Structure 1
Amino acid sequence: MRKKQWVCILYFILNLYNIISADGFPKQDYIDFSTDRSTWFFKLVENNKIIFSDFFSPFDPTVKVKHFDPLVSFELENSYYFNKNNNLMVEIEDLKKIYDPYFDYKISKDILEIKYTYYDKKIVQGFGKRSTSIEYTKKTWNIKIDLKKDILKTVGKYSYTEYEPALGGRNKPFDNNVQISKDKGFKNLEFVLNGDAIEIKDNKHYISVSEIMGLTNIKTINENGYAGIQIKNLADVTENIEREEVASKIIIPAASNLWRSGNVEKLDGYTWSDYMDDIIAGKRNYGWKWKGIYIPSGSHFKDADGNEITLEANRIVPYTMYIPKNYSENESRLAYILHGGTGNENASLYRTMERGYNLDVYAEKYNYILVSPNGWTQNPMWMHRQALYSFEKSFDSIIKEYPVDKNKIFIMGNSLGGRGAFDITMRYPKLFKAMVSTAPAWGVKEHSKWEQSRYSVQDIKDLPSLIGIGTLDKTFSFKTEVGNKEELGWLTKNVVPILSNAKYIAVERGNHSQNWGSILDIIFEFFEENLKEEKKESVVDMKFLENKEFVSLRTLKDVLGDKFKYYNINSYDNNPEKAIDYITIIYKNICINLTPGELKYRRNFERYKEDSNERTKDEDKLDFAPKFSKAPYVDGEDIYIPTKDILEILF
């Protein structure tokens, strides 16, 4: 046997050792997944496969859901049912999917063995902040059940192990190999189940969730026609110092809760169970919906070069969708929204709603299906691995359920989602009609390396694109993205020289996370203008303006047509009280920001001496902002700009 083959075999053995624990089960180490679920709901009817999971916001302290309740529907392989003792019976492989990757089982010689691990989370600092400190307590249950039962009972044994708490947090390392706590565990306790707690149908094992998972930290609650299997002690998620502040913000998942529906729908008295009933019955034809897809382990994934690779996954991964009231296959558009590093499928909704910019309003106005997939973990790498798979499978699912014209598909994203918009369009350059990328995290090492290998911005050089950045972005800084006269930034070096059909826009005082919410009007009109047939441009006679000292924006639009647009922008950094108002003018691929009463203006996303600060300290490498000869002014409902100046800028 060749040396290379021996090396491969040895590597496989070592890798197998690392993923298999001493009890023969795969290791159930903690994964910082961007959506954890506390409760699953099963309708109290026969022959149903659809179940629902909640979104319990303290499990993801970076996203504070206030405007909507994301109940994710997922279809099991097998119908669940309720036995003669009215206990919920679920096929064990389906149950594994529900609690993956922390649930495993094996059956041998009439013995069923189950291993279930849970990580208690307690937020000890920074609730609701991007950076949190979380205390994790690992708890493990090992259950053995004798399947050679008599007609009345099933006998088994189980053990419980609790570990010492370990500190971690969002995007922080967590030690999975913590020390076992003393006197907080037990071994080989016997228990007795009802005789129908495990039933075999068509060679498949169905187990009583309430009886068997009830041995762990799971309880069962029946109300409003649903059985809910829920983690115990959900309210205990923070230290006492923050509990009073948090208590009013925590809504414990329950089928009787009133369902919050966003901003378009106003449903008085509409409960979670009403929402779930409508999904099961196929009656919910528009509005916010959530669906889960199962990502298995195996050779389903691509590496940075597009080659097939094998990965561990085993997760139900959700995606968010909004369906407009007037959806039709021929007229509706589809826009993908990719989240960034400290978010999930709900982050884009939440962060715009917090500003009062409601995506569902835009979906209705322009007839858009909106889809936001989950990027698998914090810091999603959309160009490969599980995050790319999540995009691909959610895309297949949404197109099958709500087909649209292939020429009406768009993509946008912010931060790592902004970089992801590049990543996915480079993978599929003919799939999208146009792309919007805001605050793109271009300089992340893995992304930069990948872009230089198999896929390139050259692949999308002609794709209509809108690139936006906030001038007060403190995550990457305006300097990092744009650079100065001596050193180019991420975008001016890697993107601007290549994209031939792009608009570049700066959001004044825009921060990293909310900048794109300030320009939603621009984003959706940009998508819309790319649906129109390209008309031959007529020659514009501007001579009649030569003797005018000022020209109004309204007159310019009348003369220049649809390619000339202007917007009233309201933008702020982190504090809404610091909001500012200004005007953005867009003509072809030129973007101008100006403020009535001020001489200076900004062209595209250029940086100027005025943008330098204590953090950047590079004003000596920048020019002053350009200035109008006279300040624009407001007269009635229109804005007037020096005629000669604006013509020189635009032409």
Structure 2
Amino acid sequence: MLKKYWIYILYFILNLYNVVSAQNFPKHNYIDFSTDRSTWFFKSDLKNNKIIFSDFFSPFDPTVKVEYFDPLVSFELENNYYFNSNGNLMVEISDLKKIYDPYFDYKILKDTLEIKYTYYDKKIVQGFGKRSTSIEYIKKTWNIMVDSKKNKTKISGKYSYTEYQPAFGGRNKPFDNNVEIAEDKGFKNIKFKLNADSIEIKDNKYYISVSEIMGLTNIKTIKENGYIAIQIKNLADVTENIEREGVVSKTIIPRASNLWRSGNVEKLNNYTWADYMNDIIANKRDYGWKWKGIYIPSGSHFKDADGNEITLEANRIVPYTMYIPKNYTKKESRLVYILHGGTGNENASLYRTMDRGKNLDVYAEKYNYIFVSPNGWTQNPMWMHRQALYSFEKSFDSIMEEYPVDKNKIFIMGNSLGGRGAFDITMRYPTLFKAMVSTAPAWGVKEHSQWKQSKYSVQDIKELPSLIGIGTLDKTFSFKTEIGNKEELGWLTKDVVPVLSNAKYLAVERGNHSQNWGSILDIIFEFFEENLKEKNKESIPDIKSLENKEFVSLKELKKVLGDDFKYYNVNSYDNKPEEALDYITIIYKNFCINLVPGELKYRKNFERYKEDSNSRTKDEDKLDFTPRFSKAPYVDGEDLYILTKDILEILF
């Protein structure tokens, strides 16, 4: 009888140990990252290797469509992975933690290995492809205990599984992390036996079989085209074809055999994901799109808004995108940083220009530019500090080591929170960049709206050559919020315009918030290029030679006014390409004019007029009418003619 009671007591102690042990692990509450991964690829025909690849799983961020290239992020492990005697993939456990961080933790106590792994099943239930979405997610947690003392053929262990009730959240909505356990869906202390070589200890490091141990969770293993893929088992909820505005969005299931989409410049036939990964491993990919991951650890690696060291939780592989031009050289190539905004990630800026039929890789080749777009850690990135600033700094160090450029040929640009980020980062590194472009800068958003700091100021970059652009149909902030009116200045006209002494201010007619800058890429890159040229002594233009002409052509103005005079054909629209506006932008020194041939009205810089007011703004009484030419500019042949008296009065 006593023996029987001891058995119950021992069982109680073991279960108590399991509960206490599990409670020592972090809770793995949900964190809203700007990107997620469903699959990791390991090359299967190498004995020792460190480089692995992850996919970009677009439905996890429904505002980012990846339809032009396939982002496969390379990441270097600390330890070589290998294949055991049964051909199973063996990964050192601290490396496996990095792969599945921040939802993976482990402990090794004597001869027992304990693992806690959490996964969030997510499904978009409303607003797919919109700025604000509703997401249903279900938290699933596995606690695995493995006895590493093994006999000749098997090792034993047990695991428990807990599933939580569905919770709801979304962009700019709080996520509920304290959801009730659904007891009827959970099971506990399921015993298992694995092959004896499922755990191997080498140099005091634990290597585990991913297929066998992680196979107890929601991870499956796929062998294909020379790669082992470890992938989430059920992707149906987030990979289904979803119709958006009459168009079905098709998601590619990650496979090594998939044909790799390469953007616009490269034309690759029958080139697979495996081919791409092979070329990266062999260091044969000399140009084109590439992606790389940086591991951001927790700890005192970060800075606050004033540059003071702070400690944060992180533990995440964060990617950055790069494009390397065919003619890259350290001496001749330029580097431009492109910062994404609140609904994006490292790929957002690139695809949004492609959505407008503008391919950034074409510009990279034309002007010999390296593009780098870091991941801002989460939605609504705050580039001025914390993990987003760390992501910039580490990606910059990495790119300058791998593809260095002349330090006088480094630029930065960004849109929305990325446009604000361009200010933030240049204020922290005021001598690093040759020039800055900021479009639709989110000057007064959330943390930035009451941004009072003692260390950094727009004054620090007052002489930095800058181009500030905004769309006149920006519905996210509204043109009114950005520019204001005669009685109440907007955040740009109040905080930026009075300070920057070397800036151009440009309105993008009919430009929306997210994609306005795709309409002015020619202007942006020529702006960068003009700041690489040595400034000649300013010459006094011979405008008297034009005074006897009633109309003067743009070509004639260019001859008289020189390199300071530029003009561009711009095609811009809000959301519907069929409603695009073709107009001309004239830039002379730091003065900008938008005009439409055949129309009298024009716009100076990014001024706002009565005609820009609408039912939402209701402030036309505080605005002036749009200025007008005396006679409408007209096109004759391939040139545009403007009344000479008008244009000289405007420019001088």
Same fold (TM over 0.5): yes
TM superposition shift of 1:398 = 0.2
Counterpart position of 2:58: 57
Q: Given the two structures, how large is their TM-score scaled by the length of structure 1?
A: 0.95
Greater displacement, 244-253 / 211-220: 244-253
Counterpart position of 2:12: none
Q: Does 1:41 align with 2:71?
A: no
What is the SS of the residue equivalent to 1:310? strand
Mapping of 1:295-314 within 5 angstroms? 295-314=296-315
Counterpart position of 1:104: 105
The answer to whether the 8 Å contact 1:486/1:621 transfers is yes
Change beyond 3 A, Cα 1:312–1:128? same
TM superposition shift of 1:365 = 0.2
The answer to whether the 8 Å contact 1:122/1:238 transfers is no
- Percent sequence identity is 86
Counterpart position of 1:128: 129
Distance between the aligned counterparts of 1:471 and 1:627, measured in 2?
A: 18
- 1:601 maps to amino acid: Y
Mapping of 1:331-370 within 5 angstroms? 331-370=332-371
The answer to whether the 8 Å contact 1:122/1:239 transfers is no
The answer to whether the 8 Å contact 2:322/2:370 transfers is yes
Distance between the aligned counterparts of 2:151 and 2:456, measured in 1?
A: 62
Greater displacement, 104-113 / 451-460: 451-460
The answer to whether the 8 Å contact 1:451/1:457 transfers is no
Counterpart position of 2:648: 647
Counterpart position of 1:189: 190
Q: Does 1:480 align with 2:481?
A: yes
Deviation per residue, 1:401-446 (Å, 9 max, x gap): 0000000000000000000000000000000000000000000242
TM superposition shift of 1:275 = 0.1
- 1:410 maps to amino acid: F
Q: Given the two structures, how large is their TM-score scaled by the length of structure 2?
A: 0.95
- 2:256 maps to amino acid: A
Counterpart position of 1:420: 421
What is the SS of the residue equivalent to 1:404? coil
Change beyond 3 A, Cα 1:149–1:243? farther
Mapping of 1:159-558 within 5 angstroms? 159-237=160-238, 249-450=250-451, 452-558=453-559
Change beyond 3 A, Cα 1:176–1:522? same
The answer to whether the 8 Å contact 1:72/1:292 transfers is yes
Q: Does 1:72 align with 2:65?
A: no
Distance between the aligned counterparts of 1:448 and 1:139, measured in 2?
A: 37
Change beyond 3 A, Cα 1:120–1:460? same
Change beyond 3 A, Cα 1:425–1:451? farther
Counterpart position of 1:583: 584
The answer to whether the 8 Å contact 2:241/2:248 transfers is no
TM superposition shift of 1:161 = 0.3
Counterpart position of 1:13: none
Deviation per residue, 1:156-198 (Å, 9 max, x gap): 0000000011111123211011111131110000000100000
Distance between the aligned counterparts of 1:442 and 1:280, measured in 2?
A: 42
Distance between the aligned counterparts of 1:246 and 1:625, measured in 2?
A: 39
Distance between the aligned counterparts of 1:526 and 1:52, measured in 2?
A: 36
TM superposition shift of 1:147 = 1.2
Counterpart position of 2:630: 629
What is the SS of the residue equivalent to 2:237? coil
Distance between the aligned counterparts of 1:72 and 1:610, measured in 2?
A: 47
What is the SS of the residue equivalent to 1:58? helix
Deviation per residue, 1:294-319 (Å, 9 max, x gap): 00000000011110000000000000
- 2:646 maps to amino acid: D
Distance between the aligned counterparts of 1:181 and 1:372, measured in 2?
A: 41
Q: CA RMSD in A?
A: 1.5
The answer to whether the 8 Å contact 1:439/1:469 transfers is yes
The answer to whether the 8 Å contact 2:242/2:250 transfers is no
Change beyond 3 A, Cα 1:297–1:65? same
- 1:430 maps to amino acid: T
Distance between the aligned counterparts of 2:448 and 2:526, measured in 1?
A: 29
Gapped regions of structure 1 (runs ≥ 5): 1-19
Counterpart position of 1:113: 114
TM superposition shift of 1:235 = 2.5
Change beyond 3 A, Cα 1:372–1:241? closer
TM superposition shift of 1:527 = 0.2
- 1:38 maps to amino acid: S
Counterpart position of 2:32: 32
The answer to whether the 8 Å contact 1:124/1:238 transfers is no
Distance between the aligned counterparts of 1:245 and 1:634, measured in 2?
A: 38
- 2:37 maps to amino acid: R
Counterpart position of 2:143: 142
Change beyond 3 A, Cα 1:96–1:481? same
- 1:28 maps to amino acid: H
Distance between the aligned counterparts of 1:420 and 1:128, measured in 2?
A: 24
- 2:586 maps to amino acid: I
TM superposition shift of 1:236 = 2.3
The answer to whether the 8 Å contact 1:415/1:438 transfers is yes
- 2:104 maps to amino acid: F
What is the SS of the residue equivalent to 1:236? helix
Counterpart position of 1:16: none
What is the SS of the residue equivalent to 1:382? coil
What is the SS of the residue equivalent to 1:450? coil
The answer to whether the 8 Å contact 1:609/1:622 transfers is yes
- 1:50 maps to amino acid: I
Distance between the aligned counterparts of 1:159 and 1:470, measured in 2?
A: 54
- 2:38 maps to amino acid: S
The answer to whether the 8 Å contact 2:243/2:249 transfers is no
Distance between the aligned counterparts of 2:270 and 2:128, measured in 1?
A: 30
The answer to whether the 8 Å contact 1:40/1:230 transfers is yes
The answer to whether the 8 Å contact 1:123/1:239 transfers is no
Gapped regions of structure 2 (runs ≥ 5): 1-19
